[in-house]
Structure 1
Amino acid sequence: MHLTKTITILLIFFSASYSGQKTRKELDSLFSKKIKVLFAEGELDEALVLCKEIISGYERLSDERGALKAYVYAANICSNLFRTKESLQYLDIAAEKNAVIKDEYLESRINAEYGRNYKNLGFNNLALKYYDKAISIAKKNNNRNSLEYFYGLQSVIYEEQKEINKLYGSLTKGHKSKPTVYNSARMAKYFLSFRKNLDSAKFYLDLGEKMRSTKSFPVFQESILNRNWGRYFIETKDYSKAVSYLEKSLTISKQLNKPQDVKDTHKMLVKAYKLINDEQKSVQNLEKYTAITDSLLMERQKIQHLPIEKVIKEKEVSSEKSFNTLYFILFAIALLFAVIYFISRKKFSAKSLEKEMQISLKEEENLQLQQKVNEKFDDIIQLAKNNSPEFFTRFQEVYPHVISNLLKIHPRLRVSELTLSAYIYLGFNTKDIANYTFRTISTVRNRKHNLRTKLNIPAEESTELWFKNIGNNLY
């Protein structure tokens, strides 16, 4: 099996290695026919190899739109393979190209794939923001195929968060946009897991079977349908059938090299084999489930800093644009007042009064903003206590000046050091930080000492007071 797959990849590589010499029409044909067929059949590694070669071909022809389309597709393949870092690299290139081309369809896909990768890294709220952007663009252009995909991605997060009403809303919107084997299976799971309605679950599973017979769908959807048949037969106590369907689902997911799906199916097989009193296979599946879970967690931790760094970079760009706009406005106001001054002192006075009113309104707006920040404080504290991967992103949104001031003092501070700074600024002591971040007290003390050294905090000043002052722009 592996030998055959390797040979196939090599054949694709050598046959595609001349893509740089192909015409735009030939590259388009390869993309729309060969790559998409490979993807639908679950040959993701082969599809990625060919996609890279087609990207090279488009780049040699200086076909920016063709290359952009291929970059987005490569990002999607990588996210399916759980190669998150590689997927994000393709997306960054695609986003940069589309800033010039401004293709709304591809803009929605880029946002969706960013969201999908951030979800894989545990940043669910950040992922939902990107899904919302993608859905908004797709609704504007009435792109039903994209909407079905985007709502499906959104529903996975709502399911994890146990937001049942939002989950049902996303599932029904996706199903209405375009009925597929996948969303039929997901609807069945909803009725099995949250409504305990076997009749409705069976209706959607049967609908999925009808669409399965057409063979016009990506093969991964079949694994999802089989897994939810397994879930259905567990509920109806037909455990032998449950095991049969779950094993079929597992085989497909392994062939597609989709670790998340493999993990989820192993988890269900632990229960199914236990119900038929096959303790040995239940334990074997538990061991495999645990191993994959640990592996995915390790991979996630290696690159979990990437979304945070992207948010920081976006904030910096946004701040720079805001400052440039502010300077332009101030220059325009100064010029306007100079002209008015020479025309009429009276008019100048009137404009001065207007400016004072604007400042007063601005101060009132700032007061309202501060009240909103106070309302968000409890939310940030809870994220900190939960050691949530979204804690730092949320802190950056509410207290951007703190991170900005720290980076002015030491631009090379790591994300982990900035996160520790956020804990200190919020008033957490060493013991609390150790408890919430699962570190020893001595480890946290050492990290705080190293942070003091990097930030040149005077020996006579307490760390906590220094950070409060940095938040108040006293340094």
Structure 2
Amino acid sequence: MVVSSTYGNLQEQKTNYQDWIKEENSLIKKGLFEEALLLNIDIVESAKKNNDVYTVSVTYIRIANILCTFGEHLESLRYLDLADNLIDENENLDLKVRVLANYARNYAALKINNKSIEYYNESINLCKKLLPDYDYLLSFLYINKADAFTNTPYKLDSTLVYLHKAIKIRKNPFKYAVVANYYLKKDKNIDSARAYLNKSKRLMQVRNISEYHKSIVLQAEANYNKAIGNYEEAICLYEKSIEISRSVRVLDNVQLAYKLISETYSQLEDEDRSHEYLLKYSVLTDSLNLRYNKNIGSVISNFLTEQESGYKQQEKKYSVLIVTVVFLFVGSVLVIVYYYRKKRLRIVEEKERLLKQKQLESEKLKQQLNEAFEEVVGLAKTNDPSFLIRFQEVYPHVCANLLKVNPKLVNTELTLCAMIWLNFSSKDIACFTNIQPRTVQTKKYRLRKKLNIPEDENIYTWIKSI
């Protein structure tokens, strides 16, 4: 049920929350996300006491935004549902746009890119009705939609289109850095990447940006130096980016930087340091699945339970009222029964639709895994240097478990393990890596020793079961 913002004067409500929005933005800019989250929870409690539906709606959206940054996407989506139920689109179109944008952010992070793009399209169309006052919001939507296209293999060209749309509305160093990264990733256009990096640096001299945006600019500059062979400078910039990303708790960027540093040390033929950062990348990849802060998680769980409990109590009061009305007005019973039967039927139909949708998404996921397997096999067959990195991304548990058995395994040994895990024969491995089959057998023998595989144990069975 949509609730209109009927409590108090709407303009006064909008004015009242400006101060805490400034305070929250200041905390987020410094990377203090937990503090910003707790501030928003206090604001909700205060707004509910004052029957300030508008501020409650806004705060639910901002909580959802922070949870999305944390990587807690399911919790974020639940808060967006709470906000969406309170918003009257006719009165608060800007809030509707923000809800849709955050739905899109979550689905993009969950790699459900087509659904993410659908939400961005809807939010962009509504946001255009708010121009020119909300041009900054439209620019934000364009930059994020560009990111969603980046993860869609068949629409990479659309990424650049929306990046330029975002820059045309408002220029900032972060956007220029994102464009530079696009050119480095898409077609290795060094000249274009350099031009946009220079624009980013010039703009940073006259404009303050958040710590998170600084980390993105540094990473883009590092990518550029890596691309032109300035490996030492690239590593230095990656390390600075990691330092900032850790301070603002954006661990996805730290994870990416570890992988890029490992690749850079490999270019420098420093296998020890390359292996060191590959191990860091592997460990962080595992820990990201458990990264949610327990204390904040407890606060969020309790708070969300209280919110849902409040709505259930409210629904219970409505039920009592309905029962009373039924006894007073017997004639309305048939209408009410009919209404609830129709409602229940819609719920059943909606559940069936969601079940079918989940089945389709599951089938799509299986298809993506099959495509990823074919990609990894193709990299192995062409002896591509990125084979081990891509194998780690698709099957992160394999190398992680091998390194637990023997942390001193080097990249070449991990590559051999990966090919064995993919069930390549010694002849295949020799062919793909341009060495003799006898050499492959020797490497397998040494690998058995390092992994303490019993002589009577099939090495393929052992590695496949790890």
Q: TM-score range by the shorter chain?
A: 0.5 to 0.7
1:147 aligns with 2:138: yes
**TM-score normalized with structure 2 length:** 0.58
| Partner residue, 2:256 | 264
Shift, 1:228, TM fit: 0.7
| Partner residue, 1:206 | 198
Asked whether the 8 Å contact 1:48–1:74 carries over to 2, the reply is yes
Shift, 1:111, TM fit: 0.6
Asked whether the 8 Å contact 1:180–1:208 carries over to 2, the reply is yes
Asked whether the 8 Å contact 1:227–1:249 carries over to 2, the reply is yes
| Partner residue, 2:364 | 383
Among all aligned residue pairs of Structure 1 and Structure 2, give the percentage whose two residues are the same amino acid: 26
Alignment match of 2:211 (pick from 211, 219, 222): 219
Q: Secondary structure at the match of 2:87?
A: helix
Q: Secondary structure at the match of 2:24?
A: helix
* Deviations 1:98-132, CA, capped at 9 Å, x for gaps: 14774111111111111111122221111111111
Alignment match of 1:75 (pick from 39, 55, 64): 64
Asked whether the 8 Å contact 1:138–1:147 carries over to 2, the reply is yes
| Partner residue, 1:159 | 150
- In 1, Cα distance between equivalents of 2:18 and 2:166: 29
Runs of 4+ in structure 1 displaced over 3 angstroms? 23-27, 99-102, 294-300, 319-324, 379-382
Shift, 1:279, TM fit: 2.6
Q: Secondary structure at the match of 2:56?
A: helix
- In 2, Cα distance between equivalents of 1:197 and 1:261: 23
* Deviations 1:25-83, CA, capped at 9 Å, x for gaps: 99524313211111122222221121211121112111111121122112111211212
- In 2, Cα distance between equivalents of 1:71 and 1:237: 47
Q: What does 1:411-450 correspond to in 2, within 5 Å?
A: none
| Partner residue, 2:405 | none
| Partner residue, 1:62 | 51
- In 2, Cα distance between equivalents of 1:118 and 1:182: 22
Letter in 2 for 1:43: L
Asked whether the 8 Å contact 1:24–1:58 carries over to 2, the reply is no
Alignment match of 1:85 (pick from 66, 74, 95): 74
- Change in Cα spacing, 1:108 to 1:320, as seen in structure 2 (3 Å) is farther
| Partner residue, 2:272 | 280
- In 2, Cα distance between equivalents of 1:124 and 1:144: 24
**TM-score normalized with structure 1 length:** 0.57
- In 2, Cα distance between equivalents of 1:169 and 1:226: 23
| Partner residue, 2:42 | 53
* Deviations 1:357-401, CA, capped at 9 Å, x for gaps: xxxxxxxxxxxxxxxxxxxxxx99973751679xxxxxxxxxxxx
Asked whether the 8 Å contact 2:222–2:238 carries over to 1, the reply is yes
Asked whether the 8 Å contact 1:24–1:61 carries over to 2, the reply is no
| Partner residue, 1:235 | 227
Shift, 1:180, TM fit: 1.9
- In 1, Cα distance between equivalents of 2:40 and 2:236: 35
- Change in Cα spacing, 1:235 to 1:58, as seen in structure 2 (3 Å) is same
**5+ residue gaps, structure 2:** 1-11, 293-340, 347-359, 371-466
Letter in 2 for 1:120: A
- In 2, Cα distance between equivalents of 1:176 and 1:320: 49
Q: Secondary structure at the match of 2:171?
A: coil
- Between stretches 68-77 and 209-218, larger displacement belongs to 209-218
- In 2, Cα distance between equivalents of 1:269 and 1:98: 46
- Change in Cα spacing, 1:279 to 1:111, as seen in structure 2 (3 Å) is same
Shift, 1:284, TM fit: 2.4
Shift, 1:224, TM fit: 0.6
- In 1, Cα distance between equivalents of 2:361 and 2:17: 48
Asked whether the 8 Å contact 2:60–2:79 carries over to 1, the reply is yes
Q: What does 1:232-381 correspond to in 2, within 5 Å?
A: 232-296=224-288
Letter in 2 for 1:203: A
Asked whether the 8 Å contact 2:113–2:149 carries over to 1, the reply is no
Shift, 1:278, TM fit: 3.3
- In 2, Cα distance between equivalents of 1:214 and 1:136: 33
1:184 aligns with 2:176: yes
- In 2, Cα distance between equivalents of 1:384 and 1:107: 30
**5+ residue gaps, structure 1:** 1-22, 301-318, 325-378, 390-475
- In 2, Cα distance between equivalents of 1:125 and 1:248: 34
- Change in Cα spacing, 1:380 to 1:37, as seen in structure 2 (3 Å) is closer
Shift, 1:320, TM fit: 6.1
Asked whether the 8 Å contact 2:111–2:151 carries over to 1, the reply is no
